[in-house]
Amino acid sequence: MKFIFTIILALMITGCNTMRPGELPETDSASITPTVNREIINLPPPTTAPISVAVYSFKDMTGQRKPSTQLSSFSTAVTQGAESYLIRSLQEAGNRKWFTVVERVNLDNLLKERQMIKQSREIYDGANAVMLPPLTLAGVIIEGGIIDYNSNKLTGGTGARWLGIGAQTAYTQDVVVISLRPVSVQTGEILTTTTVEKNLLSTSDGITALKFFNQSTRAFEYDSGRTFNEPVNYAIRSAIETGVVELIKNGERLKLWEFKKQ
């Protein structure tokens, strides 16, 4: 009996060491979000000056809600501000040598501020007021959005137990799909398009032990587990950065622009 109890204690210690994360993150810590796909920074620069592009929106077109097995969820499964990821990806392309991104998401705020500056200068300087320079115009508009989100595309798991002691693991896979297309402002032509699919993996690992001893008058029970869910925003960032890389490569193949020879 002591031998069995020793085995259980050893499993407890092993489970604690393997299933628990080494350190819990600090709740008051903050860090700069790094680039997911390093290829976007290492792209060769273009032979011309940076292309002026505009991003008006990058909408969630799925209408997907967060999956819930108990209650209806009104929270969306994906972010509603993905244009921020797209703008950053365009800026970082080729180490900031591919695109000049102009503000269009909150264009009304920009125009109001310029109008206030203009009125203030006219009040104090009158006819000698210095005019603001014109806004930079975009030659290309980047359109697209999050077009699909499939939850529980793949589910599974394994487990084994012997003499009341065992371990189990389970996993689920979701899929998010984004689409990007550059549109020429002069002609309205869609220059090229790309669709990127990114998998999201969630895993759950656990170990359990249930043992009766002392003629089944006493019981020992132990349960430990850990769940990992890949963040949806990480998957969207990765898909957008990969999409920007593919847009640039597709444009080079279609002779829309050229890479500078190293």
In a domain, 223, yes or no: yes
Is pLDDT of 258 > 90?
yes
pLDDT score at 231: 86
Average of per-residue pLDDT across 174-181:
93
The CATH number of the domain holding residue 11 is 3.40.50.10610
> What's the rounded mean pLDDT across residues 109-120?
94
How confident is the model at residue 68, as a pLDDT? 57
- Domain residues for the domain of 86 are 2-16+35-66+75-253
Mean pLDDT, the chain, integer? 83
Is the model's pLDDT at 110 over the cut of 50?
yes
* Furthest-apart CA atoms within the chain: distance in Å: 102
The predicted pLDDT at position 20 comes to 45
Contacts of 255 (CB under 8 A, 6+ apart): none
CA distance 118 to 124: 10
Torsion-angle region of residue 253: left (phi > 0), alpha (psi -120 to 50) or beta?
alpha
Least confident of 98-107, 121-130, 172-181: 121-130
Q: Does 28 fall in a domain?
A: no
pLDDT-derived band at 162, boundaries 50, 70, 90: confident
Q: pLDDT tens for residues 207-243?
A: 888 877 777 777 878 788 888 888 888 899 999 999 9
Q: How far apart are CA 143 and CA 59, in angstroms?
A: 9
φ/ψ of 108, rounded to 5, equals -60, -40
pLDDT band at 77 (very low <50, low <70, confident <90, very high): confident
Strands (E), the chain: 51-54, 59-60, 99-102, 140-162, 165-184, 194-213, 218-229
Residue 261 in 3-state DSSP? coil
The answer to the question of residue 262 being in a domain is: no
Query: What's the pLDDT at 21?
Result: 46
Is 22 contained in some domain?
no
Considering the domain boundaries, does residue 26 fall inside one?
Answer: no
- Which of the pair, 22 or 60, is modelled with greater confidence? 60
- pLDDT of residue 257 exceeding 70: yes
Q: Tokens for 258?
A: 């050229």
DSSP string across 27-80: TT---PPPPS-GGGTSSPPBSSSPEEEE----EE-S-PBPP-SSS---SBSS-S
15: part of which helix (H) or strand (E)?
helix 2-19
Residue 21 lies in a domain: no
Chain centroid to CA 159: 31
- Domain assignment present for residue 92? The answer is yes
**Domain for residue 29, yes or no?**
no
Q: Between residues 196 and 225, which one has the greater pLDDT?
A: 196
Beta strands 140-162 and 51-54: pairing type? parallel
Contact 245, 40 (CB under 8 A): yes
Instruction: Please write the tens of the pLDDT for every residue from 18-40.
Output: 444 445 555 556 667 777 788 99
Domain count for the chain: 1
